[in-house]
């Protein structure tokens, strides 16, 4: 039986049920969303990536269809890597391409370090080896928008989660309010995208776990020197959340890594430049899989 023929399914990981969705046909690209806690549907169709690839979207623990939070469940990068390993083995995927966006890029880096033999290629989108190193630069980029009419409200929203035990409602309001910073432009088009993104729940427990327990110490800088997986790094020229400098560092740290910068994008190139995003990923995947 071809498990990938099932468009929606689930795999057991311990006492958890992990959901996945499959679309398209071609070389397999497994996708791990950001957050943590974001519903993977916020990315839409990843710019049309499935027109040349079989796209397997994982719903990470505690998010999307794999929500709700299970008492006692933890959300470390190693937890997500273990789930990804179980899920892809359950799908009978021996080797595949792995795309991780933002926090999903942290998961993808750790998976590549732990399971390099299972990857045909690694795609790191809008992510970093050590994000804490770039927090000051990120703040500078935020403040560079002070002249924008939306800045006061967006800036208040960006600070609204500090020092509080936020719930779904508080996180949803902060997330919607902060989204202007995540795009290179903020027109009616991006506002409609933001409305779509925020129509899906953002789970607070995984995000709080990461922010409180892992974010400041998550550092792949030294480990990436031993990575020998073909890697494509994708970056937005105007990304405030993951400054371009972080992507440039990834290319320096990973032997043979390639860089594609999307000149008109912030943190969501798959929305802001969808065709260019899909074509960049597809070209890398088809080349590395021998399909072209």
Task: State pLDDT tens for residues 158-212.
Answer: 999 887 788 999 999 999 999 999 999 999 999 999 999 999 999 999 999 999 9
- Alpha-carbon span 75 to 181, nearest angstrom: 26
Query: Which of these CATH numbers, 3.10.20.520, 3.30.390.30, 3.40.50.1820, 3.40.50.11810, describes 3-289?
Result: 3.40.50.1820
For 147-164, what is the mean pLDDT?
93
Q: Where is 234: in which H helix or E strand?
A: strand 231-236
Q: Quick check: 292 pLDDT over 70?
A: no
Over its C-alpha atoms, the chain yields an Rg (Å, rounded) of: 18
pLDDT of residue 166: 86
Q: What does the pLDDT average to over 21-27?
A: 96
* Percent share of the chain, pLDDT over 70: 97
CA 14 vs. chain centroid, Å, equals 24
The pLDDT value given to residue 7: 87
Q: Which of 37-41, 71-75, 82-86, 108-112 has the lowest mean pLDDT?
A: 71-75
- Containing 210, the helix (H) or strand (E) segment is none
Do 244 and 235 form a contact (C-beta atoms < 8 A)? yes
What pTM does this model have? 0.96
Residue 3: pLDDT over 90: no
- pLDDT category at 274 given cuts 50, 70, 90 is very high
Give the residue carrying structure tokens 């892992």: 214
Structure confidence at residue 290 (pLDDT) = 81
Interval 253-280 mean pLDDT: 98
Peptide bond into 281 cis (omega under 30): no
Reported as a pLDDT band with limits 50, 70 and 90, residue 67 is: confident
Query: Would you say 147 and 183 are in contact if contact means Cβ atoms under 8 Å apart?
Result: no
pLDDT bin (cut points 50, 70, 90) of residue 269 is: very high
- Average of per-residue pLDDT values in the chain: 95
Q: Does 1 score more than 60 pLDDT? A: no
> What pLDDT, on a 0 to 100 scale, did the predictor assign at position 189?
98
Q: Is the pLDDT of residue 6 over 70?
A: no
């Amino acid at each position: 039986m071809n498990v990938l023929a099932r468009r929606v399914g689930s795999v057991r990981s311990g006492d958890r049920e992990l959901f996945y969705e499959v679309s398209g046909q071609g070389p397999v690209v497994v996708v791990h969303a950001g957050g943590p806690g974001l519903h993977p549907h916020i990315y839409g169709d990843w710019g049309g990536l499935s027109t040349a690839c079989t796209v397997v979207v994982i719903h990470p623990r505690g998010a999307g269809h794999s929500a709700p939070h299970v008492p006692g469940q933890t959300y470390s990068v190693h937890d997500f890597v273990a789930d990804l390993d179980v899920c892809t083995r359950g799908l009978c995927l021996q080797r595949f391409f792995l795309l991780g966006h933002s926090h999903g890029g942290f998961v993808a880096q750790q998976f590549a370090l732990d399971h390099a033999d299972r990857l045909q290629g690694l795609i790191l989108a809008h992510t970093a080896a050590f994000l804490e190193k770039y927090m000051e630069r990120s703040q500078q980029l935020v403040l560079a928008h002070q002249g924008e009419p939306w800045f006061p409200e967006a800036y208040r929203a960006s600070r609204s989660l500090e020092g509080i035990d936020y719930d779904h409602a508080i996180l949803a309001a902060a997330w919607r309010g902060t989204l202007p910073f995540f795009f290179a432009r903020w027109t009616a088009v991006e506002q409609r995208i933001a409305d779509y993104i925020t129509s899906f729940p953002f789970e607070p427990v995984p995000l709080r776990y990461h922010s409180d327990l892992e974010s400041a110490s998550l550092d792949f800088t030294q480990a990436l020197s031993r990575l020998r997986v073909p890697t494509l790094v994708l970056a937005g020229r105007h990304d405030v959340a993951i400054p371009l400098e972080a992507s440039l560092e990834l290319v320096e740290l990973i032997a043979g890594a390639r860089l594609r910068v999307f000149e008109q994008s912030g943190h969501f190139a798959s929305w802001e430049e969808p065709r260019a995003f899909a074509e960049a990923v597809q070209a890398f995947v088809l080349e590395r899989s021998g399909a072209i």
